[in-house]
Homo-oligomer: A and B are copies of this chain.
């Protein structure tokens, strides 16, 4: 990992090809899911670890208390109405209007969210599951506002991170902290259990500056409905509903998405993506320049200290 491979070298060693000349297919995952050995003391029960291995996600309830959540909700409101923030590149609006869909690099824009992303309990769990020191690869607030919150179509984060950012292997995970009630009705996160054990090769080119549109609405590199159906046929769909203060932890390759939200209840979550330090990005596995630093940290990567 000391030197950055050339595109040619990568093409030869790309075990997770997707888009470009690739044809839609289902490949086996080649990497571990939990990287620490069973003898390493775990910050969560072995049952939860097994659940994470089997399903590709776990949900921990009541991780954060009422006061902590109120402080985060207040910060979320302040960021949303901060005119200086609204004009930044990190802010993604909903397709078709200017309400805020997501804010990226939230751990650098807000000291309160930085504190959350470097929370000892979260980071130690990420270190345990990934068996390495970790850094924050990406962070973002997803507002999913009431009335007009739009869907996020099915995707494996790893497929995009691999192709567009150059993440070498599946050794990263997301933690989504719920900041509002996540009901069945307000477009909760939906996950396909077991989907992380397969890699869904997608068809289609990666257009130039794809991220500018894909963060509003994904149209390239989407899994085919045939393979999605196969994955769902195996073990269905789980919705991650719960009170504010829950943490949804899911593997970088777990297929997930969410429906729209016409209810008055916003469905706001904050995501931190932890990547193993040894798994830092190389050149993208497509013929496009890397996405901006606020979407994928590539420079001056520092492990989170706990």
Task: List the interface of chain A (C-beta within 8 A of B).
Answer: 146-147, 150-151, 153-154, 184-185, 187, 190, 225, 228-229, 232-233, 237, 239, 257-264
Give 4 A-B pairs besides A147-B225, A184-B184, A187-B259 with Cβ atoms closer than 8 angstroms. A151-B262, A229-B264, A232-B263, A260-B260
**Contact of A190 (CB < 8 Å), options: B146, B147, B257, B263:** B263
Q: Chain B residues near A154 (CB, 8 Å)?
A: 262
Which residues of B have CB within 8 Å of A228?
A: 147, 264
Complex Cα gap A306–B184 (Å): 40
Q: Among the listed B153, B225, B232, B262, which residue makes an inter-chain contact with A259, where contact means beta carbons less than 8 Å apart?
A: B262
Whole-angstrom distance between the alpha carbons of A269 and B235 in the complex?
A: 25
- How many chain copies does the complex carry? 2
CB neighbours of A264 from chain B (8 A): 225, 228-229, 232-233
Note all chain B residues with C-beta closer than 8 A to A147. 225, 228
Give Cα A260 to B262, complex, Å: 9
Complex: how many Å from CA A264 to CA B225? 8
Cross-chain contact B151 with A239 (CB below 8 angstroms): no
**Which chain B residue lies CB-closest to A152?**
B262
Cα distance, A258 to B262, chains bound together (Å): 7
Task: Please indicate which of the listed interface residues A151, A187, A190, A261 has the most CB atoms of chain B within 10 Å of its own CB.
Answer: A151
13 CB-based A-B contacts, threshold 8 Å: A150-B260, A151-B260, A153-B262, A154-B262, A184-B184, A184-B185, A185-B190, A185-B237, A185-B259, A187-B259, A190-B262, A237-B263, A259-B261
Among residues of B, the one whose C-beta sits closest to the C-beta of A153 is B262
